[in-house]
Amino acid sequence: MANIKGQETRVDIISALMGVEPGLSGTVTSADFQDDIEGLSEGFLGGLTEKKDNIFTGVSGNIEALARSADVMGMKDRIKLAAQNRLPGEKFDLVLTFTFELGGTRRILISDAKISNFAITNASRKDYVKFKFDYAADDSLTLPSPV
pLDDT tens per residue across span 48-91: 999 999 999 999 999 999 998 999 999 999 999 999 999 999 99
- Beta carbons within 10 angstroms of residue 89's beta carbon: 8
Residue ranges per structural domain of the chain: 6-34+55-143
CATH numeric code, 6-34+55-143: 2.30.110
- What b-and-e string marks burial along 35-52, b requiring 16 or more CB atoms within 10 Å of the CB? eeeeeeeeeeeeeeeeee
Output phi, psi for 78, to 5 deg: -65, -35
**Torsions phi, psi for 75 (to 5 deg):** -60, -45
pLDDT score of 5? 94
Q: How many CB atoms lie within 10 A of CB 104?
A: 10
pTM for the model stands at: 0.92
- Alpha carbons 41 and 63: distance in angstroms, whole number: 32
Mean pLDDT of the chain: 95
